[in-house]
Amino acid sequence: MNQGGKIRVLVAKPGLDGHERGAQVVAYGLRDAGFEVIYTGLRQTAEQIVSTAIQEDVDVVGLSILSGAHLSLTRKVMDGLKAQGADDILVIVGGIIPDPDIQKLKDMGVGEVFVSGTPVSAIAQYIASAVSTRKNAG
Amino acid sequence: MNDSWENLIAGVKNRDIRAAARLITRVENRAPGWKEAMSRIYSRTGSARVIGITGSPGAGKSTLTCAMTKELISRGLTVGIIAIDPSSPFSGGALLGDRLRMKEIFETPGVFIRSMATRGMLGGLCQAARDVVRILDLFGKDIILVETVGVGQDEIEVVKTADLVMVVCMPGQGDGIQAIKAGVMEIADLYVVNKADMPGVDEAVADILAMLELSTETGKPSAPVLKTSALKNQGVKEVVTAFLDHRTDEDRRQAKAEIRAREEILSLLAQEVSGYILKQWENENRFCESVNQVLKKQKDPYAIVKEMTQRFNWS
């Protein structure tokens, strides 16, 4: 990591579900873990998320999804990042994700899936180590 | 993607969004080579108009920024936005939430939004913001809006580097206007009372006008006071017209440019010198030791600084 560089994380809620609490808790928790968190709130389209991730040059995109549409929404974001040549950005997913879908998300290229009940500290730890591994590799 | 400085700068010139975003990160992180990179682009900047937007929290700066951007785009201009929020002094992290109010322009062609944390650098925010402005300028943005919360001297210094400063207030603030006037009073070129659909708007305008009357600075044309409801898109056209038409008279502009150049050289020099000494100090592991000596009352800070600078024959 560059001297003085901060890990930048976009926390976004794609799709139509209106339950923002979880995303907010994660956003605040990640700030307290020392990350710079860009929070864009509810009802984001995949296109909005991709364009924000690129302009803000984030290291990580965190998607919070409780609507049940996690497979299609995540697919759209992954495809969008890829189309922009930005698939080096780490994507993680949180929310209500049934067990069988976790592997499906990872097969799409999602780095990790955090189901409800995960402490924010675990997410922060994962991000810190995954980003430093990626930066060293790159 | 080849991330060399040269490639990134070439990318920005070609209006490659990703290259611009990455160059900003690199420069913001003060990655080795950043000064040389800024030096290379400096001569190609200076054509964008930079508008500083400040005001107390909750006045509607981000919503207004979004509404003004839509208006500017409709007039065929391209817009860069730098939205600054504070870093936590405890964790060093930051929650950057200005985009929450700008969703409508996330994908608008010609708009580039960058959120920036203050990062608690001594005087560093100002320089970092200036650098990002220059990168967006090189990127070809016609108008650059720099939005910051009007609390804290550092942030007021940031808007001061703009060509034009807009202070956003809202009705019912009462003493809020009093609170932001220190330091802001002298630099505002334009006042906007936002949320003009709420009661108390005329009182707020009257408060500002009364305050302006007390200003004793001569030769400065008094700043216009406009009303908007950014959410309802009312009055926004007038604000945009006001700042596009705003012309500072030549003497004043010259004086401002001179102060700016002076301040920038001094701030870069101060950072360079203190950074250099601190680095040497840290190499010798003495900084922590010195802090401990002060805590234990074995030494005082004055003596330590003298000791550290003596080798340069300064004092």
Which amino acid is present at B83?
Answer: A
Chain B contact present for A93, CB below 8 A: no
- Residue in the block written with tokens 């004092």: B315
**Predicted pLDDT at B250:** 84
Q: Residue B138 in contact with residue B43, Cβ under 8 Å? A: no
pLDDT tens digit sequence for A64-93: 998 889 999 999 999 999 999 999 999 999
Whole-number Å distance between alpha carbons of B12 and B44: 12
Whole-number Å distance between alpha carbons of A107 and B49: 47
Which amino acid is present at B246?
Answer: H
Whether A1 maps to a domain, the answer reads no
Strands (E), B127-224: 143-148, 164-169, 190-193
Q: How far is B32 from chain A (nearest CA, A)?
A: 8
- Written as six digits, the tokens of B164 are 């034009």
Query: In which region does residue B110 sit, left (phi positive, over 0), alpha (psi from -120 to 50) or beta (all else)?
Result: left
- Residue in the block written with tokens 């984001």: A44
Distances (CA, A) of A52 to A80, B39, B105, B220, B287: 12, 28, 10, 40, 40
Chain B contact present for A31, CB below 8 A: yes
Among the partner residues A31, A44, A85, nearest to B88 by beta-carbon distance: A31
Q: Residue B179 in contact with residue B218, Cβ under 8 Å? A: no
Burial class (CB in 10 A: 0-12, 13-18, 19+), B283: exposed
Report the 10 Å Cβ neighbour count for B237. Answer: 15
Q: Which residues pair with A76 in a beta bridge?
A: none
Which chain A residue has the Cα nearest residue B92?
A34
Structurally, how many domains does chain A consist of? 1
Q: What is the mean pLDDT of residues A122-136?
A: 91
Burial class (CB in 10 A: 0-12, 13-18, 19+), A88: exposed
Burial B70-101 (b: 16+ CB within 10 A, else e): bbbbeeebbbbbbbbbbbeeeebbbbbbbbeb
**Predicted pLDDT at B183:** 64
**Predicted pLDDT at A1:** 36
Q: Phi and psi at residue B309, in whole multiples of 5°?
A: -95, -15
* DSSP one-letter code for A125: H
Kindly indicate the confidence band of residue A3, based on its pLDDT and cuts at 50, 70 and 90.
Answer: very low
With CB atoms and an 8 Å threshold, state whether B103 touches A2: no
Residue B157, H or E segment: helix B153-160
**Predicted pLDDT at B196:** 92
Among the partner residues A39, A48, A86, nearest to B95 by beta-carbon distance: A39
Would you kindly state where each structural domain of chain B is located, as residue ranges?
A: 1-43, 45-247, 264-310
Question: What is the pLDDT of chain A when averaged over all its residues?
Answer: 92
Among the partner residues B18, B87, B93, nearest to A54 by beta-carbon distance: B18
Chain B contact present for A137, CB below 8 A: no
Report the 10 Å Cβ neighbour count for A125. Answer: 12
Whole-number Å distance between alpha carbons of B128 and B126: 6
Instruction: Provide the residue range defining the domain that includes A44.
Output: 8-137
CATH value at residue A17: 3.40.50.280
- Considering only CA atoms, give the Rg of chain A: 14
Closest CA to A10 of B97, B20, B251, B178: B97
**Helix then strand then coil, % of chain A, to nearest 5:** 45, 20, 35
pLDDT tens digit sequence for B171-181: 887 655 665 55
Helices (H) and strands (E) counted in chain B, each on its own, are 12, 8
pLDDT of A2 > 50? The answer is no
For B45-247, CATH number out of 3.40.50.300, 3.40.980.10, 3.40.50.1100, 3.30.1330.80 equals: 3.40.50.300
Q: Residue B35 in contact with residue B46, Cβ under 8 Å? A: no
Distances (CA, A) of A41 to A17, A27, A92, B74: 11, 10, 16, 26
B chain contacts of residue A81, beta-carbon cutoff 8 Å:
none
Residues of chain B with pLDDT under 50: none
